[in-house]
Structure 1
Amino acid sequence: MNAKKEAWETLRADYCGALGKQVTVGQLIKALNNVKSTVKKKTDRAQVPGPQFSNRSVKPNKNEEPKSQETKKPLNTKSDADHHKNKIRKSE
């Protein structure tokens, strides 16, 4: 713990000497945490939604075109629902 405190104090002294602005170690820690938080928000926004793969990479097939996401029409009307039921019965 003493080494960590000494490192922060050295950093504080260098910061104050370089900028001529007096700050505390607590203020430097707060500033560092703010930077980390800002970077995390930016990287989270830049991520593409989809499945996460660990310990392997997936390469897209160069000949394959990207698949579009299909949206299914909800069965809102009674006639659509009846048609759907009839379709299931015929295939069974």
Structure 2
Amino acid sequence: TFLCVVGDQFARLKKGDRYFYDLGGQPGSFSEPQLQEIRRASWARVLCDNSDNIQAVQPLAFQLTGSQFNQPADCRGPIIPRPNLQLWRGERVG
């Protein structure tokens, strides 16, 4: 099916791209703790941190809010987690 072809192509592109962010064993690869923090990041957090005058956003930013599901959450609260950027502190680049 078309979906299988697209999925197979994405897998080949990902594994064939030595700079894809979660492939290990390359110079400059992210550590496992860094990858875990990257995976915690969300579009909702990006909106909260980089938009003016937004106090709340739904945690799954690309999905509509439901009656009780995906209700807007306070950007300052724990529902939309902040990645711990301390894992990159003092890391030498290049």
Relative contact order, higher structure (CA 8 A, sep 6+):
2
Task: Report the TM-score when normalising by structure 2.
Answer: 0.27
State which structure, 1 or 2, has the greater radius of gyration over its C-alpha atoms.
1
More helix by share: 1
More strand by share: 2
Task: Report the TM-score when normalising by structure 1.
Answer: 0.27
